Structure 1
Amino acid sequence: MYHPTVARLTYGALLGRRRALLLFALPLLLLVIVAAVRLLAGADDSTTDDLLQGFALSAMVPLVGVIAGTGAIGPEIDDGAIVYLLAKPIRRRTIILTKLLVAIGVTVAFSAVPTLIAGYVLNANGQNLAVAYAIAAAVACIAYAAIFLLLGVVTRHAVVVGLVYALVWEGVVGNVVPGARTLSVQQWSLAVAQKIAHGDLVDSAVSLNVGVVALVLVTVAATWFAARKLSTLKLAVDE
């Protein structure tokens, strides 16, 4: 289910000079902001919750997910290089799962880890907020990586569609519209953070059970559909 050569090529594509700059930019911006806030305002649990939810989980995590998820396979399909990979005796499911694991690893490294560091900088993990949001970011990374990997397979405009989804749906609609909040990866992962954090600062629109089930279903469904579409792409190339 994991192919080392496919993984190596995918890591190389994601951590190339241009994408690496984009991947480093958002975590660096988060850390600069939290360092400034800590110096100016001191340790404050409410401010920590606002920043970790409003910037880290709501903006940084999905945007890093767009870069890693779509970049894991989208460019190969756009430039036709995927044909050479599909010609190898490798199961299409193995290709998708390998690329998904790489995308998850990159997304966690560039979003969940900085979220944990930011939480400790802001309030030294007061009310367990740093750990809660880091774990929430990690589980959100899994779902986002699967969703954006699927977009990379089904459309040549995956980055544009992914950015619209991340900025409009997750960043705005999912935070404001009551009904839409229950269909947001951010809210599902917030349910995990709410369970882990102490106190009542963290609030989610869904219960923990609903959030976990939704995250699992979306991840599995997106991965399965991506593998199926990649198989269809192979048939089209053969024809």
Structure 2
Amino acid sequence: ILATFVVNLVLPLTALLIGTSALGQDIEEGTIAYLLAKPLARWKVIVAKVLAGWVLTVAVVLISVLGVGLIVLVGEQGASLIPAFVVATFAGALAYVVIFVALSLRFSRSLIIGLAYVFVWEAIISQFITGVRFLSVRAYTVGIADGLTEVSSDILDRSLAMTPALILLTTLVVLGTLYAVRVLTRYQISERV
């Protein structure tokens, strides 16, 4: 239930709402011009927005992980899943927030595009087409949780081992952050699609 409810639904939707509003709200309100006029390195702006979004996302999702975990798994052999999912949620939240912050810089309808990503790509395509599972933040998150617990893999429907999941997630976070910095560095107020 942690993989289904929290990782498939709560984590990406929370990160979507927080990540797209991190800079998207500044862009919509027109206050981005004031932010860009300050003598502040663009990478610092991106890192600050990503870290703030990450902390907020983790705070919200942590309540879900602990709540669902304590209600459903306490006293069972699956209780070791709770700390594993807490750690995996930290990693998955960072990846999702980076994706959605970058998305909000590039598209004016980032929330709609993000919803399509969460419900079409993450929930449907990556679940049923095995060849693209390695392109899913959900698969990285579940792979990390699976690698951190000693519960049988049948419970988590393991799609990725922990090492590839960590490597792919780290690569995604680094490339996503670099892309967001590049977009913000070249940002023009009238450039939004």
Compute the TM-score of the two structures, normalised by the length of structure 2.
0.91
CA distance in 2, matches of 1:107, 1:163: 16
Alignment gaps of 5+ in structure 1: 1-50
TM-superposed CA distance for 1:89, in Å, is 1.3
Of 156, 169, 180, 1:226 maps to 180
- Tell me how far apart the structure 2 counterparts of residues 125 and 94 of structure 1 sit (CA, whole Å): 45
Query: 1:135 offset after TM fit, Å?
Result: 1.8
Q: 5 Å matches for 1:140-179?
A: 140-179=92-131
1:63 is matched with 13
Maintained 8 Å contact 2:92/2:141: yes
The answer (yes or no) to whether the contact 1:70–1:148 under 8 Å persists in 2 is yes
SS of aligned partner of 2:156 = coil
Whether the 8 Å CA contact 1:66–1:148 is kept in 2: the answer is: yes
How many percent of aligned residue pairs carry the same amino acid? 28
Other-structure match for 1:19: none
| Higher RCO, 1 vs 2 (CA within 8 Å, ≥6 residues apart) | 2
Q: Aligned partners of 1:229, 1:118: CA distance in 2, in Å? A: 38
Answer yes or no: is the 8 Å Cα contact 1:68–1:145 preserved in 2: yes
Gaps of at least 5 residues in structure 2 are: none
Q: Which runs of 4+ in 1 moved over 6 A?
A: none
Displacement of 1:134: 2.0
Shift of residue 176, structure 1, vs aligned partner: 1.6
Letter in 1 for 2:110: A
Matches within 5 A, 1:29-178: 51-124=1-74, 126=76, 127=78, 128-178=80-130
Q: 1:138 to 1:113 in 2, by over 3 A?
A: farther
Query: What is the Cα-based RMSD across aligned positions, in Å?
Result: 1.7
- Does 2:159 correspond to 1:205? yes
97-106 vs 227-236, which moves further? 227-236
* Distance apart, 1:119 and its partner CA: 0.4
SS in 1 for 2:62: helix
Give 2:142's aligned amino acid.
L
Return the TM-score normalized by structure 1: 0.74
Please identify the structure whose Cα radius of gyration is greater. 1
1:96, distance to aligned residue in structure 2 (A): 0.5
Q: Which amino acid aligns with 1:223?
A: T
Aligned residue pairs, count: 187
The answer to whether the 8 Å contact 2:16/2:97 transfers is yes
Shift of 1:202: 2.1
2:189 & 2:64 partners in 1: Cα distance?
41
Secondary structure of residue in 2 paired with 1:173 = helix
Give yes or no for contact 1:192–1:208 (8 Å, CA) kept in 2. Answer: yes
Where does residue 34 of structure 1 map in the other structure?
none
Q: 2:147, 2:161 within 8 Å by CA — same for their partners in 1?
A: no
Q: Contact 1:188 / 1:204 at 8 angstroms: preserved in 2?
A: no
